[in-house]
Amino acid sequence: MASVKKQSLGDPGGLNNSNNKRNSVRPVSPNSEEKPEADSGTSALRPLDHFKSVTVNRVSVPMVLYRRPLPQSCIAFASDEGKEIFKEALLSDHMACYFRLAAQFRTQDEPAYCGLATLVMVLNALEIDPGRVWKGPWKWYHEDMLDCCIPTQLVREQGITFDEFSCLADCNYLDTQPFRVDQSSNEDDFRNLVKEITLKEDTFLICSYSRRVLGQTGDGHFAPVSGYHPDKDLVLILDTARFKYPPHWIPLSLLFESMKALDQSTGLPRGYIQVWPAKQSKSLLLFKIAEQLSVNADPEVSEHCQRFLSTWTQLLSSPVEKMEAGDMSMVRQTLHGLVEMSRTLGMKTHVLSTQEHISCSSACSVKCVVEELLAELAETALFKSVSVEVLKLPPDDLNTLENIFARRGEAEEVKGGPGGTSVCCDMTPTLCLSHFVTIFLFTWPYSVSALSGTLGFVLQALSQKEQSRLSGTFLLDEIATLSRQLKKLTGFHSHVPPKSCGCKKKPLEEIGSKDSVESSSSAGKQGCSKKT
Determine which one of 11, 163, 239, 515 is catalytic: 239
Region of residue 362 (phi > 0: left; psi between -120 and 50: alpha; otherwise: beta): left
Active site residue 396: no
CA nearest neighbour of 204 among 306, 116, 99: 99
Side chain identity at 508, as an amino acid letter? L
Sequence-distant (≥ 6) Cβ neighbours of residue 381 within 8 angstroms? 328, 466
Q: Find the angle CA(198)-CA(172)-CA(236) to the nearest 5 degrees.
A: 25
Please report how many Cα atoms fall inside a 13 Å half-sphere around the Cα of residue 23, on the Cβ side. 12
Determine which one of 94, 142, 221, 248 is catalytic: 221
Question: Which letter does DSSP use for residue 57 in this model?
Answer: P
Q: How far is the C-alpha of 463 from the C-alpha of 456, rounded, in Å?
A: 10
Q: How far is the C-alpha of 324 from the C-alpha of 473, rounded, in Å?
A: 31
Q: How far is the C-alpha of 25 from the C-alpha of 16, rounded, in Å?
A: 9
Determine which one of 74, 97, 114, 149 is catalytic: 114
- Listing from the earlier edge strand, what are the strands of the sheet with 204-210? 75-76, 248-251, 234-237, 220-229, 204-210, 271-277, 174-180
Q: How do strand 248-251 and strand 138-139 relate by DSSP bridges?
A: unpaired
Active site residue 239: yes
β-bridge partners, 174: 277
The string of DSSP letters for 240-301 reads: S-TTT---EEEEHHHHHHHTSSBPTTTS-B-EEEEEEEPTT----SSEEE-GGGSTT--HHH
* Residue 403 and residue 347 in contact, taking contact as beta carbons nearer than 8 Å: yes
Active site residue 231: no
242 φ, ψ to 5°?
-70, -20
List Cα–Cα distances, 263 to 46, 254, 519, in angstroms: 58, 17, 15
Active-site amino acid positions: 114, 221, 239
